[in-house]
Amino acid sequence: MQIYLAAPLFSEAERDFNRKVARKLREAGFDVWLPQESLLVKEGTLEEKRRIYEADIKALRECDVVVAVLDGVDVDSGVAFEIGYVVALGKPVVGLKTDHRIFSRVEDINLILEIPLRATCKTVSEVIEALKKFEDVSTRPPLQDALGQKS
C-alpha cells in the first residue's frame, strides 16, 4: 500500500517529526512517500514551484491512502489542500494529531477536515492499526451525499 504522508515541512522540527513518522510506517511494512525527501523549494522560481506542485499532485493521485499530520493551532494549509484533493478522488485519509491543545469547546479540527477522516489518531501506533483496515482499499464504505443519502 502506497502511503502519502501529508505534513508541514517548513521547520527543522517539523521535518524531524515527519522523518520519525515515515520511519515507523516503513518499519511496519508500508511504502511511504514523504514530500520533503524530494520536494523542498530551493530557488523559489515559478518553474521550480510548478515542478513541485505537479510532483505532489502526481503522488496524491498514485497513493492509496493519505496520512495527514494535523498538529498546530490550525492544520497546515498545504496539508488541508492535500486532504481535500484526495477526498475528492475518493481516497481514505487517516489523521495524526499528537498536539493536544484544546482550541475551542466546539471543535478540535475544522469540521470540513474532520468529517472525511476515516480515523483520527493520537500516536503513530494508532495510525498503523487504522491503516491495516485499508489494506484492501476497494472495500471502502460508500460515500454519502450532502443530504446523508448513500451514493
For 25-41, how does the pLDDT look when each residue is reduced to its tens digit (9 = 90+)? Answer: 999 999 999 988 887 66
Question: For residue range 39-49, what is the model confidence (pLDDT) as tens digits?
Answer: 766 777 888 88
**Number of domains the chain is built from:** 1
Are 66 and 91 in contact, with CB atoms under 8 Å apart? yes
Say if CB 90 and CB 143 are below 8 A apart.
Answer: yes
- Residue 75, in any domain of the structure: yes
Within a domain: 151: no
Which three cell numbers mark 148? Answer: 446523508
Domain that holds residue 116: 2-139
Lowest mean pLDDT among 3-7, 78-82, 109-113: 109-113
- Whether residue 112 is contained in a domain is answered as yes
Please report which confidence band the pLDDT of residue 150 belongs to, taking 50, 70 and 90 as the band edges. Answer: very low
> Which tens digits make up the pLDDT trace of 91-141?
999 999 998 766 554 557 888 888 889 999 999 999 999 999 877 544 444
The verdict on residue 147 lying in a domain is no
Tell me which residue of 83, 148, 141, 130 sits closest to 110, measured CA to CA: 83
Q: Where are the alpha helices (DSSP H) in the chain?
A: 12-27, 46-62, 77-88, 111-114, 124-132
Would residue 149 count as lying in a domain? no
Residue 53, C-alpha cell as written in the block:
506542485
Q: Answer whether residue 135 is part of any domain.
A: yes
Q: What CATH code is carried by the domain that includes residue 53?
A: 3.40.50.450
